[in-house]
Amino acid sequence: MSAGERRIDALDGLRALAMTMVVAQHCHLLPFGWTGVWLFFLISGYVITLGFVGGAPATGTRTRAYATFLMRRAVRIVPAYVLYLVACVIVLLVLGRHAPLGDLPYLASFTFNWQMIFDWWPGSSQWAPFGHLWTLSVEQQFYLLFPLLALLLPARWQTGTMLALVAAGPALRWAFVQWLVARDPSADPGWLAFAVYAASPCHVDAFLIGALVARLEPVWRERPRACRAVCATGLAIAAAYAATYVAVNAQLGATGIDVLRNVVSGVLYGQQREVFVYLAVDAAALAVLLHTLRHGRGTAWLAWRPLAWVGRVSYGGYLFHALVLWLLARTLGLNVEALPVAQRLLFLAVAWGLTVLLASLSYRVVERPIARHWRARSHGTAAAAPAGRWARAGS
């Protein structure tokens, strides 16, 4: 089985872990659960790059290669996404809530992250089951631009260009903040931090780190010591960030447990936190991803079949979890945040189980059949084309 086609059970298990972190945060149990999204970003960069490392475009022209890649991503992303949006629209119509429907043009065009930042449709983006979908916009915007690195740049320049863009990540975030402040000098610091959080240019480095892991896979597999050094460096960067801002908190007067606040959870702005926090998260995620791919110590459980299955359907799980949480809390009349921890854990268990059930149904009934149908239709053309970096795109 080729690199772009293989399934890695431990990687699926890592997806399941990332999804569970996000769900747990939304159940008010894991304040840093949002970092699971960045783990998804790195995994996405890794998996899509597996499909086209090495070789010449398999589909003949750059334009057709680009279109083929986008179609593969659409087949993977759009069916479950449309299913989720339809379910949300039905719920809104039944409840007579029409304001959030104003978000549909942005959701349909994968520009919802910019709607949430600039509030072009005031107030509509505050419905919780839509709130997490900005990440899909960020991912799709990345997919529009990333293939151009492989299609337009000579192969010898690609790795260096990606490394330069990764290194420039903090500078890009800083520049984005400066641009926003220049537009509105009185901008609220919390809004500026959220703008960085949801703006796609501010997180290109996360996807590209995953892409570099795939592109340099022969190197790190042949040099385990170097790989371990990279993992250690990633953890050291994350630790240095945490230590720095714990010290900053102490200098600002925080004591006790409060020195740990606003480091990877809470108010992530001020003292350039919004610039550097994602560097720390990306670095830690890189260490976790590499350690998992190398089947490092303590990762065997990630390949457990039930967990790997959850990872396989985790895209649908990520989509549906917000609607499940909202409907469950509404039906039971619960303010989840106010519940005791034990009851929040029970709520998480029920919501997680329902989410995985819906995701599994979506995968079996909608996603997998559509993907198989598309592959069957395109099989003749793909079989006739020479093998190359655009012959496959990982799912």
Domain locations along the chain:
9-384
Coil, strand or helix at 333: coil
- Is 22's pLDDT higher than 50? yes
Cα pseudo-dihedral 131, 135, 136, 137, rounded to 10:
90
Q: Residue 387 has what pLDDT?
A: 37
Q: What percent of the chain has pLDDT over 70?
A: 91
Of the candidates 376, 337, 292, the one whose C-alpha atom is nearest the C-alpha of residue 29 is: 337
- Is 4's pLDDT higher than 90? no
Q: Residue 192 has what pLDDT?
A: 94
C-alpha to C-alpha distance for 300 and 291, rounded to whole angstroms: 11
Please identify which residue in the block is written with the tokens 């239709």.
377
Question: Is-contact 318 80, C-beta < 8 A?
Answer: no
Which contacts qualify for 73-79: CB closer than 8 Å, 24 or more apart? Answer: 73/48, 73/140, 73/143, 73/393, 75/370, 75/371, 75/374, 76/315, 76/367, 76/371, 76/395, 77/136, 77/139, 77/140, 77/315, 79/366, 79/367, 79/370
Confidence of residue 382 (pLDDT cuts 50, 70, 90): very low
Q: What is the mean pLDDT of residues 205-233?
A: 94
Coil, strand or helix at 279: helix
pTM exceeds 0.85, yes or no: yes
Q: Residue 386 has what pLDDT?
A: 38
- Is 255's pLDDT higher than 60? yes
pLDDT digits (tens, 9 = 90+) for 292-322: 999 999 999 999 999 999 999 999 999 999 9
Q: Residue 369 has what pLDDT?
A: 95
- Is 92's pLDDT higher than 90? yes
- Is 381's pLDDT higher than 60? no
From the centroid of its chain, how far is CA 223?
28
C-alpha to C-alpha distance for 193 and 268, rounded to whole angstroms: 7
- Is 34's pLDDT higher than 80? yes
* Whole-number average pLDDT of the chain: 90
- Is 394's pLDDT higher than 80? no
pLDDT digits (tens, 9 = 90+) for 369-378: 999 998 888 7
Query: Taken in order 226, 6, 392, 107, is the CA torsion positive or negative?
Result: negative
Question: Is-contact 125 119, C-beta < 8 A?
Answer: yes
Q: Residue 52 has what pLDDT?
A: 65
C-alpha to C-alpha distance for 132 and 330, rounded to whole angstroms: 18
Question: Is-contact 106 112, C-beta < 8 A?
Answer: yes
Q: What percent of the chain has pLDDT over 90?
A: 79
Q: What is the mean pLDDT of residues 171-189?
A: 95
C-alpha to C-alpha distance for 194 and 114, rounded to whole angstroms: 11
Confidence of residue 61 (pLDDT cuts 50, 70, 90): confident
pLDDT digits (tens, 9 = 90+) for 130-164: 999 999 999 999 999 888 887 888 888 989 999 99
Contacts of 358 (CB under 8 A, 6+ apart): 316, 317, 320, 324
Q: Residue 55 has what pLDDT?
A: 40
Q: Residue 53 has what pLDDT?
A: 54
pLDDT digits (tens, 9 = 90+) for 67-84: 888 898 999 999 999 999
- Is 264's pLDDT higher than 60? yes
pLDDT digits (tens, 9 = 90+) for 331-365: 999 999 999 999 999 999 999 999 999 999 999 99
Per DSSP, the residues of 64-121 read HHHHHHHHHHHHHHHHHHHHHHHHHHHHHHHHT--GGGGGHHHHHTT-HHHHHHH-SS
Of the candidates 352, 386, 326, 381, the one whose C-alpha atom is nearest the C-alpha of residue 100 is: 326
